[in-house]
């Protein structure tokens, strides 16, 4: 993630930059409000950290950001008056951090803002006419619900993490059963057989394929073949 820091005090810049880069974020710097306003409105940032002293009269930089973007903004301020904080929040600031502050306080505020504004990953996956809700542990093909056992669902979910790629016996054993089958893959083979019967048996298009000596792959080979023909 890339963060924009709008700050002109060298010691504070060094402190904030070190703290953010230590968390793995990339930091762009703007040392005045003109540059800061331009980068914040034209760039694509996960977060803007803005010193109130550089925000301009009536927090003009903050208002400019809010006219075009919903980027979260953390305000740094030497003042901690309630009226000032309320004014900033009314104009679109997401949070305030009063100076001086600790590295831990900065870390907590930044991570909380980023988590709040990061959309949760989708729990629904689709392959051909197969639809799977990983959170609800439900799946259907062509709107026909498939009744899978817990291990059958776990196996399907693992294969869905790597569509079109062969997943080895060892990987499936480790991730689905948290064990090693060594030379005996009978448990895996039985579960695959049951899953294939429910997943592919009633349908013309087969999705679960065996790659002899390597593992299993989940893919719509007919669609892939049609794509090659068209190319």
Chain segment 116-125, per-residue pLDDT in tens: 877 666 688 9
Query: Between residues 102 and 226, which one has the greater pLDDT?
Result: 102
The Cα–Cα gap between 57 and 76 comes to 15
- Residue 73: band (very low, low, confident or very high) from pLDDT cuts 50, 70, 90: very high
**Quick one: pLDDT at residue 100?**
86
Residue 113 above 70 pLDDT?
yes
**Quick one: pLDDT at residue 119?**
65
CB 96 within 8 A of CB 113: no
The Cα–Cα gap between 226 and 113 comes to 45
User: Whole-prediction pTM value?
Assistant: 0.54
Where does residue 22 rank: exposed (0-12), middle (13-18), buried (19+ CB within 10 A)? Answer: exposed
Say which residue the tokens 């679109």 belong to.
92
At 168, list the tokens: 């080895």
| SS3 assignment, position 189 | helix
- Residue 182: band (very low, low, confident or very high) from pLDDT cuts 50, 70, 90: low
φ/ψ (deg, to 5) at 4: -100, 125
| SS3 assignment, position 24 | coil
Q: Which of 80-84, 125-129, 220-224 has the highest mean pLDDT?
A: 125-129
Residue 105 above 80 pLDDT?
yes
Query: Between residues 135 and 130, which one has the greater pLDDT?
Result: 130
């Amino acid at each position: 993630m890339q963060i924009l820091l709008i700050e002109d005090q060298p010691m504070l810049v060094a402190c904030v930059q070190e703290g953010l880069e230590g968390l793995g974020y990339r930091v762009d710097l703007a040392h005045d409000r003109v540059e800061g306003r331009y980068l914040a409105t034209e760039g694509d940032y996960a977060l803007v950290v803005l010193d109130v002293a550089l925000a301009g009269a009536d927090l003009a930089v903050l208002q400019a950001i809010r006219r075009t973007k919903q980027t979260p903004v953390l305000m740094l301020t030497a003042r901690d008056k309630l009226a000032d904080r309320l004014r900033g929040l009314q104009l679109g600031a997401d949070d305030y951090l009063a100076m001086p502050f600790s590295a831990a306080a900065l870390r907590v505020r930044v991570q909380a803002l980023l988590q709040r504004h990061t959309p949760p990953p989708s729990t629904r996956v689709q392959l051909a006419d197969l639809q799977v809700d990983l959170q609800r542990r439900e799946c259907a093909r062509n709107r026909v619900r498939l009744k899978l056992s817990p291990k059958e669902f776990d196996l399907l979910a693992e294969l869905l993490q790597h569509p079109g790629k062969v997943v080895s016996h060892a990987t499936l054993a480790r991730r689905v059963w948290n064990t090693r089958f060594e030379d005996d893959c009978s448990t895996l083979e039985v579960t695959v057989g049951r899953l294939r019967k429910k997943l592919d048996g009633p349908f013309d298009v087969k999705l679960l394929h065996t790659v002899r000596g390597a593992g299993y792959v989940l893919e719509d080979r007919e669609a892939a073949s049609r794509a090659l023909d068209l190319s």
